[in-house]
Amino acid sequence: KNEVEQSPQNLTAQEGEFITINCSYSVGISALHWLQQHPGGGIVSLFMLSSGKKKHGRLIATINIQEKHSSLHITASHPRDSAVYICAVSGDSNYQLIWGAGTKLIIKP
């Protein structure tokens, strides 16, 4: 079993829909990261959080430390949101980043 699990693996939605991507982890962490990777592009860090909730524009990230679960939400989704969204955690022992497999999101106009 992977230490960081994301769901769904693939998600296709219509423009304007509310999007949720989930991340569960099984290790102790110091921080959880949400990152975005466009096809052929580099990786952009969206959020780093260790508790609670963060919001930036139409993106919201939440984390529940007790349940070892985080969600990334996109409100009023747009085709330009189409990308791979990756959850990664910083371990609390050696601090190495442990990566999820990513969620491929396609938003159709």
Q: Determine if 76 is a binding residue for another protein (CB under 8 A).
A: no
Q: Determine if 24 is a binding residue for another protein (CB under 8 A).
A: no
- Collapsing DSSP to helix, strand or coil, 69 comes out as strand
Q: Determine if 62 is a binding residue for another protein (CB under 8 A).
A: no
Q: Which residues are CB-contacts of 56 (< 8 A; sequence separation ≥ 6)?
A: 46, 47
Q: Listing from the earlier edge strand, what are the strands of the sheet with 59-64?
A: 4-7, 19-25, 69-74, 59-64, 52-56
Q: Determine if 42 is a binding residue for another protein (CB under 8 A).
A: yes
Q: Determine if 31 is a binding residue for another protein (CB under 8 A).
A: yes
What is the helix (H) or strand (E) element at residue 75, kind and residue range? none
CB of 109 to another protein, least distance (A): 26
Binding site for another protein (CB under 8 A): 30-31, 33, 35, 40-45, 48, 86, 88, 90, 95-97, 99-102
